[in-house]
Amino acid sequence: MKLKPYIPDFKLAFEHFCIHAGGRAVLDELEKNLNLSEWHMEPSRMTLYRFGNTSSSSLWYELAYSEAKGRIKRGDRIWQIAFGSGFKCNSAVWKALRTINPAKEKNPWIDEIHQFPVEVPKFSTI
């Protein structure tokens, strides 16, 4: 008998996820395997769309996206997951000490955040 691997429901531990925007395939697999919603993946996907693969620094663009959208509330927990070469995987957990008011913040999204999210097609013709 083949047993299905147990994967915890990480949405019970974290309100927000910042996943290294290393490419669409990386994001698709993590969304599927961690059972995350499109809403949870939106900061990572929009960062990949707007800035491309900026390596681990994409995590900070993703956090800034969530802040600019007004999603970060006092007490929220954010899980940042980054990947390196080979089997490297690093993560950090943050807890928001205050609710973020986007109108009072400066970040790379603030001037354009009203235009996001955008529809990114799954496939494009060649």
**98 is written with which tokens?**
């205050």
Alpha carbon of residue 106 to chain centroid: 19
pLDDT per residue, tens digit, the chain (126 aa), is 899 889 899 999 999 999 999 899 999 999 999 999 999 999 999 999 999 998 888 999 999 999 999 999 999 999 999 988 888 889 999 999 999 999 999 999 999 999 999 998 876 556
Residue 10 has what pLDDT?
96
Give the pLDDT of residue 88.
87
Residue 17's alpha-carbon distances to 46, 78, 103, 111, 125, in angstroms, are 13, 6, 22, 23, 31
Cis peptide, bond prior to residue 5, ω within 30 of zero? no
